[in-house]
Amino acid sequence: MPTRSPTSHDDDTRGEGTAQTGSVGAIGFMADPTRHLFFTGKGGVGKTSLSTAAALALADAGKRVLLVSTDAASNLDEMLGIELRNQPVPVPGAPGLSVLNIDPDTAAESYRQRVLAQMGPDASAQELATVREQLSGACTTEIAAFDEFSALLAEGAADWDHVVFDTAPTGHTLRLLSLPKAWTGFLDGNDRGASCLGPHSGLKMQERRFQAALEALADPAQTTVVLVARPDPGAIAEAARTSDELRELGLNHQRLAVNGVFRASERGDVVARAIEDLGRQALDHLPAALLALPQDRVPLRAFDTVGLPALRALLRPGAPPPAPATPAPTTADTALPGLAALADELAAAGHGVVMVMGKGGVGKTTIAAALALGLVQRGHSVHLSTTDPAAHLAVTLDGQVPGLRVSRIDPRVETQRYIDKIMAAKSPGLDAQEQALLLEDLQSPCTEEVAVFHAFSRIVGEGRSAFVVLDTAPTGHSMLLMDATGAYHRQMTREFEGHGAARIVTPLMRLQDGGYTRIVLVTLPEVTPVSQAAALQDDLRRAGIEPFAWVLNKSVLAAGTREPLLAARLVGERRQIERLSAGLARRLFALPWLTEPPVGFARLSQLVGDDHRVAPAGR
């Protein structure tokens, strides 16, 4: 693959390409594509759009292409207008292109059946039940999904010329890619015992497959890793961190794709110039790790990337864009309240848990930090914490605030703390060999799941006497944590069943209590983020958890811009506000797009001190 200097282009068409129908264009990662294209990056940067557009372009060029989603919160079904399955599904209107979604639940059940089958016909019903219970946790779901992913890299995609991977947000993807190394160390010379993944002897086959998958990913002749970012400091910083961590795993064949680069045509438009300036500043200060990579820039489009015409136009600037949509009729006739009004409602409870959830990249960390400051301003003590592996709370707050405690549930720290606690409690009654076996079992990667859950539960419990604001991981990873919460609830309920006098309060019960926990869903005024937040709301409701409110972040409706491209995007924004107002959100609040990033105490405080309002959806 050619490697162009990232500083060799300084005009507005940098890296755009001019592909014609039936050929692959000049976008760098499409010029000489390897068999595997692996797209990763921070949530919300456009991985799914770029990976799908790339797969479609390859198929249009006559290749047989399999597009694989490893994201539990994938929206490929909406983008392509098809029902995703755990088997390849042909895409109508795109000969040669098929899509496969690695469904975590389906993968986990298949994995359980394989492990149980390895136990043989002599296994008793009790032994089978014990192993099935061991295989009921979120860790099993995670490793099972990676097992499916590994099979495609190792031997399971021989019928395809190219396999394009649309991955989960960065923190979750890095966790998956690190599993082979973790399990290699844990299983080395260890054929006895069992873990949450079943008997250790049955894991050897998976271990070999995982190693083959990593070798394929690390082979530059087979795989190109495309780091996707937006012209935003947070997304760029995460891409740089991801680049370093992937190198540690041996994945060195990387490219940078900056999506959504904006150039203002109305030079006198303050909003348009501010958006352009912020993006240019971010790109002018690329970290060294990214400057060393070949780079592509994809311009911001006036349309949502839903449907084949839009996806084809994304990487082909010469292609006609989809016809603009007609604004939907609207019933909204009042301005949407801002974060100050939401902070007032939350503060009225006096204490409790506020969980900020949503798809990666929608601004959960900003909203969580602002609401925490709003509660402090209203006289409350607040613990602001994050369960996100790619946490950015410290950067967002940029300083200490009296009355506000900030923490992060660090998986490595919590795992070691949990191991130390178990060893201290059980070691006194064990001999040296038994202690060694116990420590060996606690080195299992599954221990991390348990440790993180215990930390999460501990922080949720603090809401009894103060406010806890939780900035959660991107959607798919958060639902794994919810699964662990549900599994613990079921276990405790079984253990205390029949003890009428016992009163247990599990973390799930606290989350289900609307007077104790308030879930705030954050989304952007675009089709895909709203649909994914709606799917998350459905998942929460199935768990008996009712969201308290929605926040529509980065609305440009009230900005008064004359920029043609931004004005065209407002059509879609009005549609999403109408969609939310029509019953999807019980309470709807909005945060306008800001000309200065809301970083630091002063700017975040303004968001909850002044009641910013967004103009009515129909105006």
Please give the positions annotated as active site.
44, 46-49, 71, 528
| Residue bearing tokens 């995703």 | 84
Assigned token pair, 27: 């976008």
For residue 418, give the DSSP letter: H
Specify the DSSP element, H or E, that contains 276.
helix 270-284
**Residue 353: strand, helix, or coil:** strand
Question: Would you say 352 and 515 are in contact if contact means Cβ atoms under 8 Å apart?
Answer: yes
Specify the DSSP element, H or E, that contains 578.
helix 564-579
**What distance in Å separates the CA atoms of residue 391 and residue 135, rounded to the nearest whole number?**
29
Question: Would you say 150 and 212 are in contact if contact means Cβ atoms under 8 Å apart?
Answer: yes
| Residue bearing tokens 């490697």 | 3
Which of 411-417's residues contact partners 24+ apart within 8 Å by CB, and which partners? 411/448, 411/451, 411/452, 414/448, 414/451, 414/452, 414/454, 414/455, 415/447, 415/448, 415/451, 415/452, 417/451, 417/455
Q: Pairing between strand 517-523 and 352-357?
A: parallel
> How buried is 234 (Cβ within 10 angstroms: 0-12 exposed, 13-18 middle, 19+ buried)?
buried
Dihedral of the CA atoms 434, 435, 440, 442 (nearest 10)? 120
Q: Count each helix (H run) and each strand (E run) in the chain, helices first.
A: 23, 17
**What distance in Å separates the CA atoms of residue 334 and residue 332, rounded to the nearest whole number?**
6
Assigned token pair, 267: 């030079």
Q: Closest Cα to residue 40, out of 212, 246, 222, 231?
A: 246
